[in-house]
Amino acid sequence: MKILTGMVLCAGLLGACTSSEDRIYFDGQIFNAKLRKVERQRDVFTVTVKPVSRSLEGALEAGRYEATVHCVNSFGSSDVIWTAGPDAPQSQLNITNDTLLLQGRCPNAL
Q: For residue 108, is pLDDT > 90?
A: no
pLDDT band at 20; cut points 50, 70, 90: low
Q: Nearest 5°: CA angle at 69, between 67 and 75?
A: 95
Quick one: what percent of the chain has pLDDT higher than 70? 79
Answer yes or no: is pLDDT of 16 > 60: no
Percent of the chain with pLDDT over 90: 73
Specify the DSSP class assigned to residue 52: G
Instruction: Write the pLDDT tens digit of every residue in 49-77.
Output: 999 999 999 999 999 999 999 999 999 99
pLDDT, tens only, 86-107: 999 999 999 999 999 999 999 9
Bigger pLDDT: 14 vs 46: 46
Domain residue ranges in the chain: 22-105
Confirm if 78 and 25 have CB atoms less than 8 A apart. no
- Please tell me the distance from the alpha carbon of residue 95 to that of residue 102, in angstroms, as a whole number: 9
